[in-house]
Amino acid sequence: MMNISFKEILSRLNIPGEVYERYNEPHRFYHTTDHLNDLLQQIVKRNLQHEDALLWAVVYHDAIYDPKSATNEEDSAALFNCHFNGSTGLRAEITSIINETKTHQPTTALSAVFSEMDLNILRQPLDRLLEYEHQIFKEFQFADFLAYQAGRLKVLQQLSQQVDNPALVHLMDYVRVRQPRIAVYPGSFDPFQQEHHDVLQKAEQIFDKVIIARDMNAVKPGEMFDLPIILRFRQIETYKGLLSHFIEGLGYPVTVIGD
């Protein structure tokens, strides 16, 4: 069994280093270089490091990851096609493997191998599944908790049909009853300044999630500042009237924080 590093893969396949660096983007918590390393270890254990199609697919399958997007797989495949200069047949095979991670319904033997490896996280014991769940929750900070909970249970139910692991039942039970520590950070944020960002970052070290609640009571039409791009993956709400009414409307317990 021969080990292989990502540095060797990028060099051997002439893949730009910036593709690998995408997995270090700050909004990623599960879809990171750790996920790539796990896939690579599985490839080595299966003695499949000679399969260039699998190596290309590992590097590119989550190269573009925007948790708000419904086209990550297609966009990642498109990026792969921009960089690949090999044969038409190999291009088609790799594109298919990447695209089929959307549904994990493989149409070829090699795609089935990759899908099985990509879903390996779901075959882990409960403690690792809980860690995985927390990582996915962090990636979906922009989603309201109740919406996330409903959507996540639906996804896990679907995936449980493809992976035989009794611990998945316990994971779904956990998602169903979990009450994460959620904070609300209210303010006009007009504009959102560095001091606000510092408070947010400190709060995110304490809480599982922080909702940014923009107070619209004193804002005149057309005068509200746009929030910076760094907040793109946080949940941002607006309210008028009493903050207490906004909090009651959330439907779950929160802690109000301030500067």
- Rounded Cα distance between 250 and 185, Å, is 14
Cβ neighbours of residue 222 under 8 Å, at least 6 residues apart? none
d(CA 150, CA 230): 26
Question: Among 175, 169, 186, which residue's Cα sits nearest to residue 208?
Answer: 175
Which of 145-149, 168-172, 190-194, 225-229 shows the lowest mean pLDDT across its residues?
A: 225-229
Q: CA–CA separation, 141 vs 191, rounded Å?
A: 21
Give the pLDDT score at 223. Answer: 63
DSSP helix/strand/coil, 137: helix
Q: What is the pTM of this model?
A: 0.95
Note the pLDDT tens digit of each residue in 53-98: 999 999 999 999 999 999 999 999 999 999 999 999 999 999 999 9
Region 151-165: mean pLDDT is 96
Q: What is the mean pLDDT of residues 207-233?
A: 84
Q: Residue 150: what residue type?
A: A
| Segment 127-157, tens digit of pLDDT | 999 999 999 999 999 999 999 999 999 999 9
Starting from the edge strand earliest in sequence, which strands make up the sheet with 209-215, in order? 236-239, 209-215, 182-187, 255-256
Q: What is the per-residue pLDDT for 79? A: 98
Give the DSSP H/E element, type plus range, for residue 157.
Answer: helix 145-160
Domain 182-256 architecture: 3-Layer(aba) Sandwich (3.40)
Q: What is the pLDDT of residue 234?
A: 97
In this structure, what is the dihedral angle of CA atoms 200, 203, 209, 213, given to the nearest 10 degrees? -50
CA 195 to chain centre: 27
User: What is the mean pLDDT of the segment spanning 29-58?
Assistant: 97
